[in-house]
Each structure stands twice: as structure tokens, then as C-alpha cells.
Amino acid sequence: MALRPIHSGDHLLLREIYADAIETQAALLYTPEQVRAWAALAWLPGVLDRTLRQGHGWISGTDAAFAIRDPRDRLSLLYCRGREARRGHGSALLAQIEDDARADGLERLRTEASQLSRPLLERRGWLVLASESITIGGVPFERYRMERLLRQPRS
């Protein structure tokens, strides 16, 4: 699967992928109110700005999906357009993010996963540390604090 690094000119595209992923896939696990509140984050000023500016990540395929680390020990964003779901984009992006973290000398990655991303992360060896409740736009959500222990490659 072809991946390319994210550049500053990709920010609008990343917001589009983010909103599409939620609007096309989240209805299976979330209420309409939750889907609206969550998808709106793509367009609210200041919500994703810092992560898009300072994070490091990759875009998969023909602008199908993306993943960003911010800070460097945290998988901050992982989103895939609905029409491209279950085609390996998430797995390829996670493999690259994990390789980048190993190259940076990290022993572990952390994240806060949605109900959508939790199964993929678990299949890739991430462990749930705890569930937590958050509020987005006044709407309650449950998410999962997760961790991936990274084995350093043998020299």
C-alpha cells in the first residue's frame, strides 16, 4: 500500500477524510447526536489545528486514510473514508506509525481509541488500559486508553 508523508498543504484534505470517516461509519456504533457532534470537530477552529500543524504522519492510497502522531509517543488521529474501509489502509498506516516510533527510539505508543478503531488496534497488538467517558459538544462518549509496546529491532 502506497503511503506518503503528510504536508502542510494537506490540512483541508485531512479534515475531509476525518469528517467522512465519522459520517459514513460511526452510525453503526454511535447515536445520530454523537455522530454530528464528533464529525463537527473536523471544522471547528482550533480543535485539530495544533495536531495538524505539529504532528507527523502519513496519508494512504489515493487520499483514502491518514494517521498522525502528536506528540511523538501518541497516535493522535487515525481515520479512513468509509468507501475505503476494510481495505488495509488502517493496518498499513499503523505499521508505518509504529515503525516511525521505533526509529525514534520509543518503547511504547499510546492513544485514546473510539469504538470504531479499538478492534483494529487490538488486532495489531494494542492493549486497552482503561475505558473513559468524555464529552464532545455536550454529548457523552466512551473511549479507550490504549497502549502498544514496541519491540526494538535486533541489531
Q: What is residue 86's predicted lDDT score, i.e. its pLDDT?
A: 87
Q: What is the pLDDT of residue 155?
A: 46
What pLDDT is recorded for position 87?
86
Residue whose grid cell is 506509525: 97
List of residues 6+ apart from 124 with CB closer than 8 A:
91, 94, 95, 98, 148
Question: Is the pTM of the predicted complex or chain greater than 0.75?
Answer: yes
Find where cell 505508543 sits: 109
pLDDT of residue 152: 59
Fold of 3-149: Aminopeptidase (3.40.630)
Segments making up each domain of the chain, as ranges? 3-149
The segments of the chain whose pLDDT lies below 70 read 152-155
Q: Is 41 helix (H, G, I), strand (E, B) or coil?
A: coil
Position 154 scores a pLDDT of 47
- Give the pLDDT of residue 151: 78
